[in-house]
Amino acid sequence: MKIAVISAFLGLLLSACSPKPVYPLHVEGTALLNPQGDTVVLRGISYGWHNLWPRFYNSSSVKSLVRHTGCNLLRFSMGVDDLRGADGQPAEGYLSDPSSGWKCITECVDAAIEQGVYVIIDWHSHKIHKSEAVAFFDAVSKLYSGVPNVIYEIYNEPVNDTWHEVKLYSEAVIDAIRENDPDALVLVGSPHWDQDVDLPASDPIKNRGNIMYTLHFYAGTHGEELRAKADNALGKNLPLFISECGAMNADGQGALAWESWGEWLDWSDRKSVSMVLWSISDKTETCSMLLPSAKSGGRWDDGDFSEWGIYSRSFVEDYAKKSPLARPERGEKPVAEPGQES
């Protein structure tokens, strides 16, 4: 089975007047595949919490980021709970201000679809809010039903919940999505900040297809022990997707641990595991890719990026340039999966 890493780079030459097509993706074993049976590896960038950095949640920044890097995946992190910004002021999450959260996410998702990249809609919370999550994913999956770009991440990082609790929650949310979008890719979290992937590996969700389980790592904190846990999960046929990672410490601070980061990159390449780098934000911390001088609408130059931001931009850009195009050419109809209308 050949590996085809999806690239948006060549598509940058095409007109932006209409959405650029992408292939539907499906899971077989531990692999993410396109309809031709090629293994797909995505490399992308995550936006920070929408309620902390709403100024970046606009179509202009999305289009600028895609056009200048060629990245094939963006993740939009809808902050569910209320937070406090760096200035100490309250930052209302989706539960307190659903209209702002909905607007931020859908404007960016629409722009990403137009640019022909995959997009993760991330329920960015550390607590279970079952009824609210079911209602949100019911609504958003109705809106984007049948759109192959859209991936649903239904629980960012469980912290204190048991796997039994997360599993029951996930089944309910997946069922709501499946009512509207039977074939969409769904990402499921695991306890302890998406570290304990061994738990779902021993007790996976049954009778619900096209799901993967999220693994999060920060190279300054996590190393061989977590990779061993991930290897064990893959060995039990649990499909993994790294929906958030960085080269710094898990608290977003500290020096960039390049040696450990390189070990993670080697591992993810060997295992064909997709990964998303954290994050588009401008807080004074190592993991923020932008400086406060960065304009809200994109068109960022070198002076607007942190060290991590410069690296992240180059990382996805280099990946796109060296990767073959693995989506339909303009005018070509995407190949449907068996049983799916083309």
Sequence ranges of the domains in the chain: 10-322
Nearest partner of 246 among 273, 220, 214, judged by Cα:
220
The CATH topology of domain 10-322 is TIM Barrel (3.20.20)
> pLDDT by residue for the chain (342 residues), tens digit each?
444 443 333 333 333 346 778 999 999 999 999 999 999 999 999 999 999 999 999 999 999 999 999 899 999 999 999 999 877 889 999 999 999 999 999 999 999 999 999 999 999 999 999 999 999 999 999 999 999 999 999 999 999 999 999 999 999 999 999 999 999 999 999 999 999 999 999 999 999 999 999 999 999 999 999 999 999 999 999 999 999 999 999 999 999 999 999 999 999 999 999 999 999 999 999 999 999 999 999 999 999 999 999 999 999 998 887 664 345 544 444 433 333 332
Among 266, 293, 269, 268, which residue's Cα sits nearest to residue 282?
A: 293
What predicted TM-score, i.e. pTM, was given to this entire model? 0.90
Active-site positions read 157, 244
